[in-house]
Amino acid sequence: MNPFTKVKLYTLIVILILAGGILCACSVPAPNPQPTLGPSIDNGVEVVYFHRSHRCYGCLYAGDKVRYTIDTYFSDELASGELVFMTINVQDDVNAAIVNKYGAYTSSLFMNKVVDGVDHIEAVTGIWFLLGKDQEFVNLVKSEIEERLE
């Protein structure tokens, strides 16, 4: 295979992976919904994973790895209320208020550092480039949470 054909093939593969992650035209049904509005905190970090009603492999992977990271490295902060974790279906009308608050519209991860009741919401988009790379994915989520807990 000549070098030009390889480049075209790799480019096509990258585009397909990114399009799949962004569109997430999924066929796997979502698990039972969790509470739609988490506890209100005055100081701490909210980690919110948004998903669509039907979830693809990448969406399920991301949600599972975020949950794993929090359970593994931040159980004390979670138990104390310093860290709050929520999984929210963006397509469920009952979640409209929190979806609007975060500006979510599809599968996405947001972190909100709350200081004296003031939100500092940021999207964490780098996770989508680490699907299937367990340790790198966990390390990214862990460092993003640690940075906000400081």
Q: What is residue 6's predicted lDDT score, i.e. its pLDDT?
A: 60
Q: Is the pLDDT of residue 67 over 90?
A: yes
Reported as type and span, the H/E element at residue 110 is: strand 108-114
pTM of the predicted protein model: 0.73
Q: Is the pLDDT of residue 35 over 50?
A: no
**Residue pointed to by tokens 């909100």:** 112
Q: What is residue 42's predicted lDDT score, i.e. its pLDDT?
A: 85
What is the share, in percent, of the chain residues with pLDDT greater than 90? 69
pLDDT in tens, 79-133: 999 999 999 999 999 999 999 999 999 999 999 999 998 999 999 999 999 999 9
pLDDT in tens, 131-148: 999 999 999 999 999 999
Q: What is residue 87's predicted lDDT score, i.e. its pLDDT?
A: 95
pLDDT in tens, 47-64: 999 999 999 999 999 999
Question: How many angstroms separate the CA atoms of 90 and 106, rounded?
Answer: 6
**Residue pointed to by tokens 């104390």:** 80
Domain spans, the chain? 3-149
Q: What is residue 12's predicted lDDT score, i.e. its pLDDT?
A: 54
Q: Regarding the domain delimited by 3-149, which CATH topology (the fold level of the hierarchy) does it fall under? A: Glutaredoxin (3.40.30)
Question: How many angstroms separate the CA atoms of 148 and 119, rounded?
Answer: 12
Question: How many angstroms separate the CA atoms of 75 and 17, rounded?
Answer: 33
Specify the length of the chain in residues: 150
Q: Six-digit token pair at 85? A: 């974790």
Question: How many angstroms separate the CA atoms of 61 and 123, rounded?
Answer: 18
Q: Is the pLDDT of residue 15 over 70?
A: no
Q: What is residue 16's predicted lDDT score, i.e. its pLDDT?
A: 55
Q: Is the pLDDT of residue 27 over 70?
A: no
Reported as type and span, the H/E element at residue 8 is: helix 3-23
